[in-house]
A and B are shown apart, each in its own frame.
Chain A
Amino acid sequence: MPRALEIMKREHLSLNSVLHVLNQLVLDLESGRLRSDDVDYDLFEKIMTYIEEFSDTMHHPKEDKYLFPALLKKTSEANEVILELEEQHRRGIANRKKLEVHIQAMKDRHPGQVEKVIDAMKDYLQAHREHMKLEDHVIMPLAERVLSEEDWAPIDAAFNQNEDPLFGDVPKSKFRKLLSDITFLAPAPIGLGGGRNR
């Protein structure tokens, strides 16, 4: 399997694990197990930072810049899907920013914001799931099938940068620390329960 594909799959797993925590927080908020007064905003902030820096700044732009153009050049089989994925990347950034505004409003105790956060997060999570499903089940198998070793070389080089612990575009050690902090703060049994809601 090309190196870039391996890295992309691993990055999806990593992002999924963070979204799993976010999903649990939404379910807890919705069911009342987590009261809005008890929300650990430090945890929310780290999750949103992770999504912003890992997904929106590092992962998606490399798909847009290297993987998708290579595929478009090689085949027309997935033109529509790629256009849709590129649009989802753009929309994802806008939706994350909106979500951050809602979270801040909930923190500032604006009336009705808990429900808005719940709705916005559910939509955001659902969009992410569908997005990754398209990439995992349509784009990646297609790329593996049609791209040559020569096509993969620049894509591999770009994604390999993500693996550099210290000198990558964003150092891997930074994400390792962020993920570790999220795991520490997330309530048990999803995380280690080291945050506010232990």
Chain B
Amino acid sequence: MLKIENLTSHYGRIQALHGVSLEVNEGELVALVGGNGAGKTTLLRTISGLQAASGGSVSFEGKNITGLAAEKRVGLEIAQVPEGRQVFTALSVEDNIRLGAFTKSDKAAIAEDMEKMYARFPILKEKRKQAAGTLSGGQQQMLAMARALMSRPRLLLLDEPSMGLSPVLVMEIFSIVEELKEQGVTIFLVEQNATAALRVADRGYVMETGKISLTGTGDNLLNDDTVKAAYLGI
């Protein structure tokens, strides 16, 4: 479904991605793990079009989308839940969710999807009139996920969804991720919490200094001595 070949990206003269190649097949949950500054978020932003590629290619369902604008990629049913949630703090919870469907025009379908979001994330229903900036970190993460799901994505890009959350909220986030996978959503999950990510993933990639250093099934990577030493604290 998603194929990245030899991708490079720069921040000015600094190269952040050094020829990254990876694939995400339809229905898969693929994790990308690595330390701080490895280039994980840059890669995700390059996939969603928020960061320009300086070389290589990003293809989605066989179509080269490397030069396609970010908003056009949403139309292809690719949605991103950004690192740090990035909700619109001054807007209400309801408006934040609705904004996730900005590429859709069928009002009845949007209303129906909003009800589905409220059923899946009941806390958002309770807080729907509140400004998103007043929500706690966990509540904002649920909001960011609901907003992304409103575009009915077939490929969901999740950037550090468990960052800074309590253990029970981390469990809940990963439970939702598993549930989405069971519903057929293809997921590319970027996480520093390598153990939790690799446990739910079909396959994983390890990234170091802008390059993919290792790849394998989630189980294989969890049992890999290099991964254990570097990322799992074992």
| A residues apposed to B, CB below 8 Å | 1, 6, 10, 13-14, 16-18, 20-21, 176, 179-180, 182-184, 186, 188-194, 198
Contact = CB atoms under 8 A, between A and B. Distances in A.
Contact of B168 (A1, A21, A176): A21
Q: What is the size category of the interface that chain B forms with chain A?
A: 20 to 34
Q: Is the interface of B mostly helix, strand, loop or mixed?
A: helix
Contact of A183 (B137, B171, B199): B171
A191 B171 contact: no
Contact of B171 (A14, A189, A194): A14
Given A188-B136, A189-B137, A20 B167 contact: yes
A180 B172 contact: yes
Q: For the complex, would chain A's binding face be called helix, strand, loop or mixed by DSSP majority?
A: helix
Contacts of A183: 138, 168-169, 171-172
B69 interface: no
B167 A194 contact: no
A191 B138 contact: yes
Contacts of B64: none
A16 B126 CA distance: 28
Interface string B115-150: 000000011001000000000111100100000000
A32 B213 CA distance: 51
A17 B139 contact: no
A142 B49 CA distance: 49
26 contacts: A6-B219, A6-B222, A14-B171, A17-B166, A17-B167, A17-B168, A17-B170, A17-B171, A18-B168, A20-B168, A179-B168, A179-B171, A179-B172, A179-B175, A180-B172, A184-B123, A186-B168, A188-B136, A188-B138, A188-B139, A190-B166, A191-B138, A192-B138, A192-B139, A193-B123, A194-B126
